[in-house]
């Protein structure tokens, strides 16, 4: 969303037009059996570490056991066959993805870019669901100079239950033109002295927990 009439600075707004939502907040819930399975898988991942650790692995998890961060101790790495940074990052996610997100065939991780700095590469991914981007949901896999995975940061939608079960529909209830009109109308109500034009809407999944908020999973423009 762009504002007309500013000569010094271009200002943009992001407006979410909700077009599908769940009547029930699923949050990050999962069964005890699933939590136990993740706990067991995490032990396998920890056991796979190669090298001579001089300190513990750094791990941060959600209440129900999803990984948000895992980092091997200095001079150690996770056991993935060496290759290009992108290749080993892809293989790591493919092998251990259920530690970060519940099992769903609709979830994909799309590479955004690879950044190399000080001998280390950072492979950044965006999360997709059935071809739709999950707003703000990203994962970064850190690969050392020897093409070994040493850390993963994950800030993604972890529980896709509402989408998998169809409680949240992936079919928009309004078209793009209506979405643009509603966005302009909303901002005009907030800033009556300004004029707005809308960029082309993008259909996305909005999971409030990704941005530190609460509420149900929603389909948005």
Give the single-character DSSP code of 28: T
Cα gap 46→99, rounded to integer Å: 12
Cα gap 157→171, rounded to integer Å: 19
Spatial neighbors of 73 by CB under 8 A, at least 6 apart, are 49, 51, 53, 54, 55, 56, 57, 58
Cα gap 107→97, rounded to integer Å: 10
Mark whether 127 and 179 lie in a shared domain. no
- Asked whether the predicted pLDDT for residue 7 surpasses 60, the reply is no
pLDDT of residue 6: 35
* CA-only gyration radius of the chain, Å: 20
Q: What pTM does this model have?
A: 0.83
Cα gap 169→54, rounded to integer Å: 49
Mark whether 43 and 148 lie in a shared domain. yes
Q: What is the mean pLDDT of residues 176-202?
A: 90
Cα gap 12→121, rounded to integer Å: 31
pLDDT of residue 135: 97
What token pair was written down for 159? 């529980």
Q: What is the mean pLDDT of residues 126-151?
A: 96
Spatial neighbors of 118 by CB under 8 A, at least 6 apart, are none
- Asked whether the predicted pLDDT for residue 24 surpasses 70, the reply is no
What token pair was written down for 50? 């190669």
Domain count, the chain: 2
Mark whether 92 and 144 lie in a shared domain. yes
- Asked whether the predicted pLDDT for residue 16 surpasses 90, the reply is no
- Residue-number span of the structural domain to which 208 is assigned: 2-23+166-195+202-220
Q: pLDDT > 90: what percent of the chain?
A: 67
Per-residue pLDDT tens digits for 53-107: 888 999 999 887 899 999 999 989 998 888 899 999 999 999 999 999 999 999 9
């Amino acid at each position: 969303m762009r504002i007309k009439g500013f000569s010094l600075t271009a200002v943009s707004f992001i407006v979410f037009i909700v077009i599908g939502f769940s009547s029930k907040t699923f949050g990050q819930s999962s069964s005890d059996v699933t939590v136990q399975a993740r706990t067991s898988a995490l032990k396998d991942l920890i056991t796979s570490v190669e090298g001579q650790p001089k300190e513990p692995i750094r791990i941060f998890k959600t209440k129900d056991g999803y990984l948000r961060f895992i980092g091997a101790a200095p001079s150690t790495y996770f056991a993935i066959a060496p290759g290009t940074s992108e290749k080993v990052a892809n293989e790591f996610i493919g092998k251990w993805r259920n530690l970060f997100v519940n099992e769903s065939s609709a979830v994909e991780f799309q590479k955004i870019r690879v950044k190399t700095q000080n001998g280390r590469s950072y492979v950044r991914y965006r999360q997709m669901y059935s071809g739709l981007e999950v707003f703000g949901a990203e994962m970064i896999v850190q690969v050392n100079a020897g093409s070994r995975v040493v850390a993963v940061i994950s800030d993604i939608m972890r529980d896709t239950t509402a989408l998998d079960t169809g409680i949240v529909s992936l079919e928009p209830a309004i078209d793009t033109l209506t979405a643009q009109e509603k966005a302009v109308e909303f901002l005009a109500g907030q800033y009556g002295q300004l004029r707005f034009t809308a960029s082309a809407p993008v259909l996305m999944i909005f999971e409030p927990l990704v941005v530190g908020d609460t509420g149900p999973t929603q389909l948005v423009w």
